[in-house]
């Protein structure tokens, strides 16, 4: 059975202290707020009578408007009384909106997007901007929801708390870890936030007001500083793939756990005297790092090597193929291939040093921060995270310190 009431939503307050008044439809245990176009200060609202108090100068006019809209909506419920249980809450809402605002019917239908349709729109925009890695994240994460729906489209305004809980239960039941579910949910949340900003989804239909994205703390993967000494002392044949990997590991460790993508894109122009200056690819933050003795030794070798073996893009390290640099999807594939190759070789290096856990570029990055923490370096400088409470928070904290503070920390960790 469908029911109607008129409510004021005090969660939203405009600058003039007024809040929106809605016609609330409840059907099949689903609640939908329908805009009426009225804003009023909560002090003038009679919650019990569901109307404007007589103390307001426009009370009579506004109450006539409210009564008119409610009667039109109730007439719709009477018209579909015999078939109401076969209609969804959104179908009822559409009928009510058509009765209240007949001239809006076409516009409302034009603005109603499906999840997969709207996501494809975002993906095309990302590809146009050469953000292929992000576009693939959207593609594969939303694909999980498409499989859950068995390919059937779902409108953005039909995604509610119950849908999210059902998807969570289904996905966990398939053996996906909680953090995997969290990743899917974050992408869905990004899609819905974009839809709200684009005006195709009403913020009252936003399900993440009630659903909390849960995460499980991951097992810490940092390795002890002694392993970096073992890696440094490995005797490997010069210019072999493992010898290069040894250099890359030590360079990442000596440059504050530099991200592998940023390392692979370094050019000689990033070397400015005794400092390494570059823009973090992911966050666009400028890094200004003092070059340690070991990092300088590695830079000196590869700068001379670059003179004899130039790369079309003038990258310092011979990591990416010569065909890289066209800002297309192939660049992303080439980088991902290089990262996998690097991680496989890192793991071999780790095994040569007696490491029982898998060594990757992420573990190196994580270890730099964890070693610093164990040495007593302020967590405000290191934060919980390059190995990971929240990477964004970590970088925000690092932003607030002078370069010398971070330089001193890096010197102590890599010494």
pLDDT in tens, 176-234: 999 999 999 999 999 999 998 888 888 878 999 889 998 887 666 788 899 999 999 99
CATH number corresponding to 115-209: 1.10.150
Is it true that 115-209 and 225-414 share their CATH fold? no
- Per-residue pLDDT of 314-341, as tens digits, reads 899 999 988 887 777 788 889 999 999 9
Angle separating helix axes 403-414 and 361-374, nearest 10 degrees: 100
Task: Write down the domain spans for the chain.
Answer: 3-111, 115-209, 225-414
User: Which residues touch 4 (CB under 8 Å, ≥6 apart)?
Assistant: 23, 24, 25, 26, 70, 73, 74, 77
Give the number of other CB atoms < 10 A from CB of residue 202: 16
First to last CA, the chain: 72
pLDDT in tens, 368-395: 888 887 777 776 676 533 433 454 444 4
- CATH code of the region 225-414: 1.10.443
pLDDT digits (tens, 9 = 90+) for 341-366: 999 999 999 999 999 999 999 899 88
């Amino acid at each position: 059975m469908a029911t109607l009431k008129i409510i004021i939503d005090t969660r939203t307050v405009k600058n003039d202290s007024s809040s929106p008044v809605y016609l609330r439809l409840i059907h099949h245990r689903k609640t939908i707020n329908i805009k009426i176009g009225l804003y009023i200060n909560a002090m003038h609202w009679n919650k019990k009578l569901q109307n404007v108090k007589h103390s307001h100068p426009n009370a009579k006019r506004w109450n006539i408007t409210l009564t008119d809209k409610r009667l039109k909506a109730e007439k719709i419920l009477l018209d579909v009384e015999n078939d109401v249980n076969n209609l969804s809450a959104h179908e009822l809402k559409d009928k009510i909106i058509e009765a209240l605002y007949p001239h809006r019917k076409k516009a409302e239908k034009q603005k109603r997007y499906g999840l997969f349709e709207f996501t494809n729109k975002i993906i095309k925009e990302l590809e146009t901007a050469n953000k292929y890695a992000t576009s693939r994240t959207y593609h594969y994460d939303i694909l999980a929801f498409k499989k859950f729906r068995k390919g059937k489209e779902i409108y953005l305004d039909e995604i509610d708390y119950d849908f999210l809980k059902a998807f969570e239960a289904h996905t966990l039941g398939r053996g996906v870890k909680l953090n995997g579910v969290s990743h899917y949910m974050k992408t869905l949340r990004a899609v819905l936030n974009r839809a709200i900003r684009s005006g195709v989804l009403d913020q009252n239909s936003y399900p993440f007001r009630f659903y909390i994205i849960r995460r499980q703390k991951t097992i810490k993967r940092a390795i002890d500083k002694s392993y970096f000494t073992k890696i440094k002392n490995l005797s490997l044949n010069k210019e072999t793939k493992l010898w290069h990997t040894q250099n890359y590991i030590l360079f990442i460790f000596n440059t504050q756990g530099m991200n592998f993508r940023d390392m692979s894109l370094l050019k000689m122009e990033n070397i400015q005297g005794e400092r390494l200056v570059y823009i973090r690819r992911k966050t666009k933050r400028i890094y200004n790092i003092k070059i340690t003795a070991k990092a300088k030794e590695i830079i000196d070798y590869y700068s001379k090597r670059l003179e004899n073996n130039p790369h079309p893009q003038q990258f310092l390290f011979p990591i990416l193929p010569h065909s890289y640099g066209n800002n297309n999807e192939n660049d992303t594939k080439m980088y991902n291939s290089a990262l996998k190759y690097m991680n496989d070789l890192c793991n071999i290096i780790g095994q040569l040093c007696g490491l029982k856990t898998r060594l990757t570029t992420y573990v190196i990055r994580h270890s730099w921060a964890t070693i610093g923490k164990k040495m007593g370096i302020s967590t405000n400088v290191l934060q919980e995270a390059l190995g990971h409470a929240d990477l964004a928070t970590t970088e925000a904290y690092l932003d607030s310190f002078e370069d010398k503070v971070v330089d001193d920390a890096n010197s102590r960790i890599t010494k």
